[in-house]
Amino acid sequence: MPPMPPKKKTHDPLSIEVIDLVATRFRTLGEPIRIRILQSLQNGEQNVTALVAAIGSTQPNISKHLRILQEAGLVGRRQDGNNVYYAIADPTVFDLCDAVCNSIGTRLTKHASIAMELQRRARRR
């Protein structure tokens, strides 16, 4: 008898309220500039001026996205005199990004191997 495949991990159904919170988190991460901000802050706290230089956007735009990230609990801010510094408040966001990147990489690898097979077949003709 062949071995049984491992059971898939199942989850209890989520309440509507929890689904709304999850969807909000994904919407927050749905803007590429916000992911770029998070990536820049992964190296340590920065002020808006440094983020503007690193990302190449305007100060009002960076500030708007920082506010959204802060409201979502992903970044925090610290004031030192006239300077405001932002830092990652929820480092688990990078676990989510890693999971998405791994999933995309797996999918692209599968597509690449299929494309290579098709190219080999086309060359044989």
Question: pLDDT band for position 5 (50/70/90)?
Answer: low
Two structure tokens written together for 109? 């690898």
* Cβ neighbours of 50 (radius 10 Å): 16
Residues 54 and 42: their CA atoms lie apart, in Å, by 13
Domain coordinates in residue numbering, the chain: 14-89, 92-125
- pTM score of the predicted model: 0.78
124 compared with 95, residue with greater pLDDT: 95
Contacts by residues 79-87 (CB-CB < 8 Å, ≥ 24 positions apart) = 83/47, 84/47, 84/48, 85/45, 85/46, 85/47, 86/41, 86/45, 86/46, 86/47, 86/48, 86/51, 87/41, 87/44, 87/45, 87/46
Topology of the domain covering 14-89: Arc Repressor Mutant, subunit A (1.10.10)
pLDDT tens track for 43-82 = 999 999 999 999 999 999 999 999 999 999 999 999 999 9
pLDDT 10s digits, 80-118: 999 999 999 999 999 998 888 888 898 888 888 887 888
